[in-house]
């Protein structure tokens, strides 16, 4: 039952209002006409740090002069001036407290006349939390924007941004718009050897250095993810893109320092441009991609501009994996053999086995068409097993023909990581009754980057079988020297990039000479790869290189052809011996 309504007395009303004022979260201060404190509530005491007792009767000026910084003093003076003119004043300010904390406040002052006396009533609302929340919200929005539009590893714009900018540029530009697609070569192998983190560091460094080139007329440099990048240019003539492309390729000639290791990075690049290759973005993107794929198929480390006659032979669709697996089952992967030559005599001392895919419809394919995919689909060990079995059979066949030459097989990190790598080699040697020294294994420098413990123990065990080990592609940048110290190599294979320049570039010649001296000092043999001319062979002999291989002597050939070469060599030798013997008498 409700009680009868009783109006409250003025005193109760004032007490309630005073309580409300006391409990309010906003700070309240009342100043008299001479700007002296006559009241502050608890919230004010807490916010500013001075008790009411301290402040009462003190003019705002004293407080100002003693404690307020210059900018707050100015703000207060302008507030009071405003109040005298307008009676109400409102502003957002940053106030310092007694504890030298800066707080963001909303300040409201009003002027009241009570019983003929003027008072200024101020309310200060602490907005620090609100502002913090707003800042957090903006930060979250920024992060979301970054997540949506930028690559997390490199911080570069992503594919979405690239496409939007390219599309806008194509609409607006009166010049030629160049689309460049760029991939890091052998990305999968980098990941399997360096690990994901170091590969990402390498990619970040590459993108930072490319950005630092500050290429002219570059509208967008984007990272589509993984090894995939895009660049967007606008030129009066698309041919100006050659300068930018030269600078990018030059950038990759210097090794990158990642986690204490010097690493070389190679890239493949495909280019298309409007209006020559079309005006639609989709068209231009797919044409640049086609050129990129072609660059990769030619072995990478190169730039190709789109042409309608670029003949792409491989597609990396889902069916490709199935084709590879089927090819392995059906024995379509076969070794071709490239002779290794004693340079002074021209004698074949052995062969390097190089895998070829005898594809049922596409013909004979070189490793560049499928070796990355083999690693990607984790088929490396299977390939190795197939190759090693055929090589063991070949060696057994040569043994029967009393041909003593050895065969080198290429192996990758993925193969060494298999625990039964050693067992496979040992079983093959035993079942075919071949001695270990007839087999050599070539390991690329990149294979040695990771899996140190596994690779080391595998190599040691394999060496105990008498198998020789060669460090392939020596000098291509994977901390070559430290590997020579660490692992028990018998051969160094000097990469063909050195051989190709040895005639025209005296620095390259000096480097090769230094490698040869080093090999000698470490009691290792050296084989120069990629000899294509007599001049190259002559210079190599001149600076003390004893062994080599290359197209000048022979391209990789079939097993039958290799056997014939060996038989011919023996016959020629026997003929020569006979001639010598005959001429003695
Ligand atoms: P690699 O082991 O350094 O082999 C040398 C490559 O240079 C071969 O290419 C060979 O055909 C080519 N070559 C030989 N002489 C010359 C020359 O005078 N000039 C030029 N320009 N090139 C020459 P190929 O057969 O395309 O093999 C490429 C790479 O694929 C090999 O480089 C090796 O790293 C890898 N590879 C080949 N077979 C296998 C394999 O069975 N297993 C694995 N894991 N990798 C393999
Ligand atoms: Mg090799
Ligand atoms: Mg090599």
Residue 255 CA to ligand 1 centre (angstroms): 22
Cβ contacts of residue 306 below 8 Å, gap of 6+?
270, 271, 272, 277, 287, 288, 290, 291
**CA distances (Å), origin 361, targets 70, 365, 392, 528:** 85, 11, 28, 35
The pair of three-digit structure tokens given for residue 92, joined into one six-digit string: 């957002």
Is ligand 1 within 6 A of the CB of residue 41?
Answer: no
Residue 309 CA to ligand 1 centre (angstroms): 26
Is ligand 1 within 6 A of the CB of residue 314?
Answer: no
pLDDT values of the chain reduced to their tens digit, one per residue, 585 residues: 677 888 888 888 888 888 888 888 889 989 888 778 899 999 988 888 888 888 888 776 555 445 566 766 676 677 777 777 777 788 887 777 777 777 888 888 888 888 888 888 888 888 888 888 888 888 878 777 777 789 989 999 999 999 999 999 999 999 999 999 999 988 877 877 777 888 899 999 999 999 999 999 999 999 998 899 999 999 999 999 999 999 999 999 888 888 877 778 899 999 999 999 999 999 999 999 999 988 887 778 889 999 887 766 545 555 788 889 999 999 999 999 999 999 999 999 999 999 999 998 888 988 888 887 888 788 888 999 999 999 999 999 999 999 999 999 998 766 776 778 888 999 999 999 999 999 999 988 766 765 556 777 888 889 999 999 998 888 765 456 777 777 889 999 998 888 988 998 888 899 899 889 988 988 999 999 999 999 999 999 999 999 999 999 999 999 999 999 999 999 988 877 777 777 765
Residue 473 CA to ligand 1 centre (angstroms): 10
- Give 333's Cβ-side CA count (13 Å radius): 27
What distance in Å separates the CA atoms of residue 553 and residue 40, rounded to the nearest whole number?
100
Contact call for residues 124 and 107 (beta carbons, < 8 A): yes
Residue 478's pLDDT is what?
A: 47
Residue 585's pLDDT is what?
A: 57
Residue 407's pLDDT is what?
A: 98
Residue 186 CA to ligand 3 centre (angstroms): 14
- The 10 Å Cβ neighbour count of residue 475 is 20
Phi-psi group of 441: left, alpha or beta (phi > 0 → left; psi -120 to 50 → alpha; rest → beta): beta
Q: Which atom of ligand 1 lies nearest, measured to the CA of 299?
A: 26
Is ligand 1 within 6 A of the CB of residue 355?
Answer: yes
What distance in Å separates the CA atoms of residue 307 and residue 285, rounded to the nearest whole number?
13
Is ligand 1 within 6 A of the CB of residue 550?
Answer: yes
Residue 528 CA to ligand 3 centre (angstroms): 9
Is ligand 1 within 6 A of the CB of residue 354?
Answer: yes
Is ligand 1 within 6 A of the CB of residue 557?
Answer: no
Residue 102's pLDDT is what?
A: 79
Which candidate, 153, 175, 307, places its Cα nearest to that of 232? Answer: 175
Is ligand 1 within 6 A of the CB of residue 479?
Answer: no
Cβ contacts of residue 188 below 8 Å, gap of 6+?
372, 375, 376
**pTM of the predicted model as reported, rounded to 2 decimal places:** 0.56
Q: Which residues pair with 258 in a beta bridge?
A: 261
Q: Which atom of ligand 1 lies nearest, measured to the CA of 333?
A: 41
Which candidate, 248, 182, 175, places its Cα nearest to that of 210? Answer: 248
Total number of residues shown for the chain: 585
Q: Which of 529, 537, 562 to mutate to test the pocket of ligand 1 (most atoms within 8 A of CB)?
A: 529
Contact call for residues 349 and 417 (beta carbons, < 8 A): no
In the 8-state DSSP scheme, what is residue 214? Answer: -
**CA distances (Å), origin 324, targets 273, 377, 481:** 34, 9, 36
Q: How far apart are the first and last CA of the chain?
A: 147
Q: What is the Cα 349 distance to its own chain's centre?
A: 41
Which domains does the chain carry? 13-130 (3.30.450.20), 152-305 (3.30.70.270), 326-574 (3.20.20.450)
Strand boundaries in 266-370, DSSP class E: 267-274, 302-305, 333-342, 347-359, 363-365
What distance in Å separates the CA atoms of residue 432 and residue 309, rounded to the nearest whole number?
48
């Amino acid at each position: 039952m409700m009680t009868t309504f009783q109006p409250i007395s003025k005193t109760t009303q004032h007490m309630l209002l005073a309580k409300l004022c006391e409990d309010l979260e906003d700070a309240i201060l009342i100043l008299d006409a001479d700007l002296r404190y006559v009241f502050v509530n608890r919230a004010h005491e807490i916010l500013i740090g001075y008790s009411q007792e301290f402040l009462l009767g003190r003019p705002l000026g004293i407080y100002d002069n003693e404690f307020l910084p210059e900018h707050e003093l100015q703000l207060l003076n302008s507030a009071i001036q405003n109040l005298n003119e307008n009676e109400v004043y409102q502003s957002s300010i940053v106030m310092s407290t007694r504890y030298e904390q800066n707080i963001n406040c909303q300040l409201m002052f009003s002027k009241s006349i009570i019983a003929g006396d003027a008072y200024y009533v101020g309310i200060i609302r602490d907005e620090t939390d609100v502002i913090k929340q707003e800042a957090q919200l903006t930060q979250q929005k920024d992060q979301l924007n970054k997540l949506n539009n930028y690559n997390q590893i490199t911080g570069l714009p992503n594919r979405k941004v690239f496409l939007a900018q390219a599309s806008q540029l194509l609409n607006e530009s009166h010049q030629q718009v160049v689309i460049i697609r760029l991939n890091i070569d052998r990305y999968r192998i980098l990941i399997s050897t360096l690990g994901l983190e170091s590969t990402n560091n390498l990619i970040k460094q590459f993108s930072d250095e490319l950005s630092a080139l500050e290429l002219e007329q570059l509208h967008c440099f984007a990272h589509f993810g993984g090894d995939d990048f895009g660049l967007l240019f606008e030129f009066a003539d698309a041919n100006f893109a050659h300068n930018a492309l030269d600078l990018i390729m030059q950038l990759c000639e210097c090794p990158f320092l990642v986690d204490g290791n010097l690493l070389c990075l190679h890239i493949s690049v495909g280019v298309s441009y409007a209006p020559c290759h079309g005006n639609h973005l989709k068209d231009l993107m797919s044409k640049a991609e086609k050129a990129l794929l072609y660059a990769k198929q030619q072995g990478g480390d190169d730039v190709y501009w789109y042409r309608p006659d670029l003949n792409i032979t491989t597609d990396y669709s889902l069916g490709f994996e199935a084709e590879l697996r089927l090819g392995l089952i059906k024995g379509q992967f076969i070794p071709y053999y490239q002779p290794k030559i004693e340079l002074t005599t021209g004698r074949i001392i052995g062969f390097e086995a190089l895998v070829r895919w005898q594809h049922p419809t596409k013909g004979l394919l070189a490793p560049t068409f499928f070796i990355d995919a083999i690693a990607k689909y984790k088929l490396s060990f299977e390939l190795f097993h197939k190759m090693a079995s055929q090589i063991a059979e070949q060696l057994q066949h040569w043994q029967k023909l009393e041909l003593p030459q050895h065969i080198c097989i290429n192996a990758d990190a993925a193969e060494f990581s298999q625990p039964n790598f050693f067992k496979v080699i040992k079983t093959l040697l035993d079942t075919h009754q071949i001695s270990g020294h007839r087999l050599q294994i070539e390991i690329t420098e990149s294979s040695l980057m990771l899996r140190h413990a596994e690779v080391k123990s595998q190599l040691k065990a394999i060496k105990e079988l008498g198998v020789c080990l060669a460090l392939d592609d020596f000098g291509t940048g994977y901390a070559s020297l430290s590997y020579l110290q660490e692992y028990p190599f018998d051969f160094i294979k000097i990469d063909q990039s050195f051989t190709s320049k040895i005639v025209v570039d005296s620095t390259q010649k000096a480097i090769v000479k230094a490698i040869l001296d080093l090999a000698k000092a470490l009691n290792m043999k050296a084989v120069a790869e990629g000899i294509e001319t007599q001049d190259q062979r002559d210079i190599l002999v001149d600076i003390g290189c004893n062994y080599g291989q290359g197209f000048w002597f022979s391209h990789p050939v079939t097993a039958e052809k290799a056997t014939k070469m060996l038989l011919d060599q023996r016959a020629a030798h026997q003929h020569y011996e006979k001639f010598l013997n005959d001429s003695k008498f």
